[in-house]
Structure 1
Amino acid sequence: MKKIIAVTSCPTGIAHTYMASESLEEAAKKMDVDIKVETQGSVGVENELSDQDIKDADAVIIAADTNVSKDRFGGKYIVEVAVADAIDDAESLINRAIEGSEKGETSDVDSNLYSQVDEEKSKRKEKRQGPYKHLMTGVSFMLPFVVAGGLAIALSFVFGINAAEQEGTLAAALMQIGGSSAFALMVPILAGYIAFSIADRPGIAPGMIGGMLASNLGAGFLGGIIAGFLAGYLTQWLKENIKLPKNLQGLMPVLVLPFLSSLIVGLLMIYLIGPPVEGIMNGLESWLNSMTGTNAVLLGLILGAMMAFDMGGPVNKAAYTFGVGLLGSQIYEPMAAIMAAGMTPPLGLALATTLFKNRFNRQEIEAGKPAWFMGISFITEGAIPFAAADPIRVIPSIMTGSAITGALSMLFGVGLKAPHGGIFVLPIPNVVTNLGFYALAIIVGTVITALMLRVLKPKLAE
């Protein structure tokens, strides 16, 4: 029996979402096709598709008039139509999905480094549950704002480090786009989508309002994280405990939940949470700004080792989130150490597979070639396939190289104003302070990683 999965969603998330779902289910029953339909309605996601559902499916139908992410359906044949098409002619959609999946059955499975990285990231995603999952949802939605804003700010420095202070200039406009707009949205977006991950759509408004209050009160990204979790769990609790008559249920997601949760979260942020968190953030910023010598090196060492420890996993993301959060406070040194240390693992492995071929099998040597590009692009996950094959030797090697890179970056006082981009943002004037020493830190870490692999990995038989 063929298995189809589907997602239905309309802008209001009320009538058409569920009508399309019902139409697909009835048509599938008539055609003897197994189907599971996820609805993304006004109350959030219902009948959510699991990773196993997606894995077992032959094809996917997306009947939506809203933006539905297709990332999780990689490798599947997708039929994407308006929600009305599923209501009007569900049978033809199911036939299209089945025919498309049958035509694609003979395609080869890509086994290069990129597909191995995607597979490992999918496995990690399956394990993410609870608060970590919610935090990473917030971070993933925040990152485009941070990257776009950071690059806009970086471009403003092309005209001079203080050029943005002159009103009416292009530099001032770029700074307004990046600093006054994109970075101003960073904490509210983080908080809003943490709350969204917990309580679906009703959590977005209280989460973003709490995040904006955190920014305005000086509580920074730490206050935003607290506001996001508070708004999410509070909204979810209200959703489960407030019971309205059936004819008034439509008021819950658009009126009752956002209003009550925003009111409670806002008052708590202003009177209870904001002031002490502001004190913590001010203390952290003062400590980081005054950090020199041994303390700076130690921080770089720790951040560097964290970036390599799990190559895109929870520890890596914790270090990266820490660096990104400090950009809003104009503290740029940790971000420099973090990006350099994140580039080093794939670069070190690529160098090792080039210089010490007798330590690697043919597949690993081939995987080393794209690892060069992943390294210079700040995609730490490029090291995952090597670490998965030989964790005992590879992980200590890349952690050593990244820790030394992070320590050297902090020792040299390197600052980085762009939160991503690898070497491609380094040529922009004034984005990196002490560019020569920054390149030296990355090179040293790369070479040390390769030499560690040379020492730890045994020769393979011819």
Structure 2
Amino acid sequence: MSDMITADLVDLDLSADTKEAAARALAERMVAQGRVTDLEGFLADVAAREAQMPTGLDGGIGIPHCRSAHVTEPTLAFGRSAAGIDFGAADGPADLIFLIAAPAGADDAHLTILSSLARQLMNTEFTDALRSAGDAGTTAALIRGEEAPATADSASAGAQASEDASEDSAATPVAASAGAAAGSTAPAPGAATESGSAPAPGATGVTGATGVTGATGTGERPFRIVAVTSCPTGIAHTYMAAESLENAGHEAGVEVVVETQGSAGFTRLDPAVIAAADGVIFAHDVPVRDKERFAGKPTVDVGVKAGINRPAELISEVRGRAERGEVTAGAAAGTPVERAGDSTEGYGTKLRKWLMSGVSYMVPFVAAGGLLIALGFAIGGWKVNKAPSVMDHFVWTQSGSWGALLFQIGVVSFGFLIPVLAGYIAYGMADRPGLVPGFVGGSIALTINAGFLGGLAAGLIAGGVVMAIQRINIPAALRGIMPVVVIPLISSAIVGFLMFVVIGKPIASAQKGLTDWLGGLTGANAILLGALLGLMMCFDLGGPVNKVAYTFATAGIAVASPSDSAMKIMAAVMAAGMVPPLAMALATTVRGRLFTQTERENGKAAWVLGASFISEGAIPFAAADPLRVIPSVMVGGAITGALSMGFGATLRAPHGGIFVVPLIGNPFLYLIAIAVGVCVSAALVVLLKGMRKQAPEATATDPAGNPATTPKEAKQPVAA
């Protein structure tokens, strides 16, 4: 820690009034010390991390942090705010601000030290000392662990270090834990657990694996909890949640052992510790690794901040579940959506994630199959779909045979689309037990011509059926065969019955009606549809709305002989999706002074990303200035989509961007549609950014006669 923070990185009179301004003020100190190479690029990484989850903690603490390629070495800057700054904590503003900067490839030792700081923030003596420290040097020494909390207060600087023997434990230097593995908490020298055993390697806890800390003194075994904590960057929240749970367990007389799955790696809990546990707590914002180890136990699954802010409540909840015998098949394993989300998410958010789970697994099949079919037509001609099977007829020297081969491989790939969509929607809802009924339901949807809509319905039904079965209390003796035999059997039978007998035919009729309606779109209706799809493609740049439009288009061409309207829709969607990154690339080229150096570098990459139909290439620009970038690219995307439909451009391939232009119908007009949209979006971005740059100059002074905006501030992009 000694080289991570110095007095120059401490600001005891932080005057910022927003979290963005606070991060900038502290980051500027890092730049001055040569710890950060690109201020704007680093702040963009901090903002991206903050967008994932607010970094404010109860107790007046804000810990903005990130990994960044613009950081040269692990660095910590500290600021103390008299007025307080809102970092999203439930109890109000934060007055202690820690900006943690880790290089993209930070080594485990440094990250372990940073994790030790995170644990110290749960110590009220430590935070009280930071609030009372009188100078930057003392504060830096306190954070480094070179000064005890009791001596940090300038008023008691002359007090004897031995005034209270208990202070030795509270003043254990933060850096001392650098020798612990992945954030483990080593006992104080000479200390031992009540049972005389050390904590399990790689684990943290109030006791070791066999300790009896938390016993009531009657000889009765304490309630045992194993926990896993993790957060997106694995630097701070992971270890703070662990410390908080351990402290709450100690106070409640409960034995808590925590596995911290942080950036410094993790060591799995001893299987014997897990087997002996009476309950499980998952406090995480990223998937828990090897979660199946904890199956079959009462489980509480929450976000990592809940582990920090309300540990006693979580411990009480898991004890209550154990007392009630609330152990259900698959409950502890969770689901992919639950592992990546927050327990407070509403049903609508989870539904969107379930659908996107299926779409994300389906898209590679769409891309592979669509490109193979398109290449088959390009090589073998438009009658290649009438060619006999290459198993019966294949001539090595004939291009027609090679075209037929590619076409038939693509058709086979397309045959997986609906089953994969349904299977992985169910997987997102119910994890692996949902795969079998999901694939079965998707295959039935394909068989009865229920198409894309049938796949969506089959996946949701399959996931719902499995989730319902998992809520049934099952005797321990039967749990082993539930995911292998019972759940696949019962769920497949129910899904098959519903798809074949109850809802399959109405969905197939709806699918046919939708297909016929699209086939009849002409003139103004088609142009309006193109504009709408263009708006959707550019709204969230690869997000859910973008994926809905893309999936709608690919579903139309996911057949051996798609309609002309379906291919027009596919062309409009891909053209609009290319506009955002190409527009930003053009804007950074023609008016580079309106953008930061990092954005200009991103603009160079955006040329290639846009040409490859990767809309996400515009995300860095949208994150830095959403109010100007997103509306601009939406306007350009809508124009491109409308023009593509109006020009009658068609596309059989679902991906490829500029590289599949030879496979596009009316390619020249198609390229004109893209160029027009790109120019319009770039012009709007330049115009809006230019207006923003001029605004600060119009107000030279504030009411007190002081400069309202410095030239440096006027050149900074709007924070996301």
TM-score normalised per structure 1: 0.74
Q: Report the Cα distance in structure 2 between the residues aligned to 1:222 and 1:62, rounded to whole angstroms.
A: 44
Residues 1:272 and 2:507 are matched in the alignment = no
Q: Note if contact 1:346-1:382 (Cα within 8 Å) is conserved in structure 2.
A: yes
Q: How does 1:55-204 map to 2 (within 5 A)?
A: 56=238, 57-60=262-265, 129-158=349-378, 159-167=380-388, 168=393, 169-179=401-411, 181-204=412-435
Letter in 1 for 2:408: Q
* Relative contact order higher in (CA < 8 Å, ≥ 6 apart): 1
Alpha carbons of 1:382 and 1:234: their partners in 2 closer, same or farther (altered >3 Å)? same
Matches within 5 A, 1:214-253: 214-241=445-472, 243=474, 245-253=475-483
- Of the three residues 325, 338, 355, the one matched with 2:555 is 325
Q: Is 1:290–2:520 an aligned residue pair?
A: yes
Q: Give the SS at the match of 1:419.
A: coil
The aligned counterpart of 1:305 is: 535
8 Å CA contact 1:3, 1:58 repeated in 2: no
Structure 2 residue identity aligned to 1:147: A
What is the CA–CA distance in structure 1 between the aligned matches of 2:682 and 2:615, rounded to whole Å?
15
The reply to whether residue 448 of structure 1 matches residue 677 of structure 2 is no
- Paired with 1:409 and 1:225, the residues of 2 have a C-alpha distance of 29
Is 1:354 the counterpart of 2:524? The answer is: no
CA separation of 1:445/1:286 partners in 2, compared to 1, >3 Å: closer, same or farther?
A: same
C-alpha separation between the residues in 2 aligned to 1:58 and 1:290? 55
Any idea what the Cα deviations from partners look like across 1:165-219, whole Å, max 9, x if unmatched? 222322222222111x111110000100110111111110100000011111111
Match of 1:281 among 498, 511, 531: 511
How far apart, in 2, do the equivalents of 1:54 and 1:413 lie? 50
Aligned to 2:55: none
Residues in 1 aligned to 2:382 and 2:511: alpha-carbon distance in whole angstroms:
26
**C-alpha contact 1:340 1:442 (8 A) present in aligned 2:** yes
Amino acid at match of 1:321: T
Mark the CA change 1:366 to 1:170 in structure 2 (over 3 Å): closer, same or farther. Answer: closer
Cα distance change on mapping 1:3 and 1:423 into 2, 3 Å = farther
Matches within 5 A, 1:384-399: 384-399=619-634
SS at match of 1:29: coil
Kept in 2, the 8 Å contact 1:54–1:73? The answer is no
Match among 492, 517, 520 for residue 262 of structure 1: 492
Q: Closer, same or farther in 2 for the Cα pair 1:252/1:126, shift >3 Å?
A: closer
Does the 8 Å CA contact 1:350/1:371 hold for their aligned counterparts? yes
Quote the offset at 1:31 in angstroms. 3.2
1:305-353 Cα offsets, whole Å, 9 max, x none, are 1111111111111111111111124121111111111110010111011
Task: Tell whether 2:608 aligns with 1:377.
Answer: no
Q: Partner residue of 1:406?
A: 641
- Correspondent of 1:415 among 647, 650, 655: 650
Distance 1:47 1:53, change over 3 A: farther
Q: Determine the C-alpha separation between the residues in 1 that align with 2:635 and 2:202.
A: 57
Task: Give the drift of 1:303.
Answer: 0.4
Aligned to 2:572: 337
Distance 1:342 1:32, change over 3 A: closer
Inter-CA distance 58–50: structure 2 relative to 1 (3 Å threshold)? closer
Partner of residue 13, structure 1: none
Question: Which residue of the other structure, out of 9, 23, 29, is the alignment partner of 2:199?
Answer: 29
Q: Distance in 1 between matches of 2:341 and 2:485?
A: 33
The verdict on how the C-alpha distance between 1:301 and 1:62 changes in structure 2, with shifts beyond 3 A counting, is farther
Aligned to 1:95: none
CA distance in 1, matches of 2:517, 2:589: 42
* Equivalences, count: 371
1:387-416 deviations in whole A, cap 9, x for unaligned? 222222211110000000111111111111
Aligned residues of 1:28 and 1:34 also touching (Cα < 8 A): no
CA distance in 2 between counterparts of 1:154 and 1:398 reads 29
What's 2:45 paired with? none
User: Are residues 440 and 3 of structure 1, via their aligned partners in 2, closer, same or farther at CA, if it must alter by over 3 Å?
Assistant: farther
Give the whole-Å Cα distance in 2 for the aligned partners of 1:268 and 1:49.
40
The answer to which structure has the higher helix fraction is 1
Query: Aligned with 2:542: secondary structure?
Result: coil
On the 8 A contact 2:538/2:546 being kept in 1, the answer is yes
248 and 28 in structure 1: CA distance in 2 versus 1, 3 angstrom threshold: farther
Instruction: Please tell me the residue identity of whatever aligns with 1:252.
Output: M
Q: CA offset at residue 33 of structure 1? A: 4.3
Single out whichever of 358-367 and 408-417 deviates more from structure 2.
Answer: 358-367
Contact 2:182 2:267 in 1 (8 A): no
Shift of 1:52: 4.4
**Could you tell me which amino acid in structure 2 is paired with residue 216 of structure 1?**
T
Going from structure 1 to structure 2, the CA distance change for 1:281 and 1:393 (only over 3 Å counts) comes to same
Q: Is the 8 A contact 1:344 1:442 kept in 2?
A: yes
Is the Cα contact below 8 Å between 1:164 and 1:173 reproduced in 2? no
Q: Tell me, in whole angstroms, the C-alpha distance in 1 between the residues paired with 2:642 and 2:594.
A: 28
CA shift, 1:277, in A, is 0.9
CA contact (8 A) 2:181 2:201 kept: no
Identity of aligned residues (%): 47
Q: Tell me, which stretches of 5 or more residues in structure 2 are unaligned? A: 1-176, 184-196, 206-225, 239-261, 269-284, 294-339, 394-400, 694-710, 716-720
Q: 1:32 to 1:261 in 2, by over 3 A?
A: closer
Partner residue, 2:95: none
Match of 1:435 in 2: 667
What does the per-residue CA deviation read over 1:401-439, in whole Å, with 9 as the maximum and x for residues that have no partner? Answer: 000011111111111111112112223xxx211111111
| 2:541–2:616 CA contact under 8 A, matched in 1 | yes
Name segments (4+ residues, structure 1) moved above 3 Å: 1-5, 27-35, 46-56, 58-63, 125-129, 459-462
Q: Measure the CA separation in 2 of the matches of 1:385 and 1:408.
A: 27
Structure 1 pair 454–220 and aligned structure 2 pair: CA distance change class (3 A): same
Q: TM-score, normalised by structure 2?
A: 0.48
Once the two structures are superposed, residues 91-115 of structure 1 have per-residue CA deviations (whole angstroms, 9 ceiling, x without a partner) of: xxxxxxxxxxxxxxxxxxxxxxxxx
- Superposition deviation, residue 264 in structure 1: 0.6
Residue 49 of structure 1: CA displacement? 6.8
Letter in 2 for 1:316: N
Q: Which amino acid aligns with 2:356?
A: M
Equivalent residues of 1:3, 1:34 under 8 A apart = no
The residue type equivalent to 2:405 in the other structure is: A
Name the CA shift for 1:73/1:226 in 2 (closer, same or farther; >3 Å): closer
Residue range with higher mean Cα deviation, 126-135 or 228-237? 126-135
Q: CA deviation at 1:227?
A: 0.5
Aligned to 1:43: none
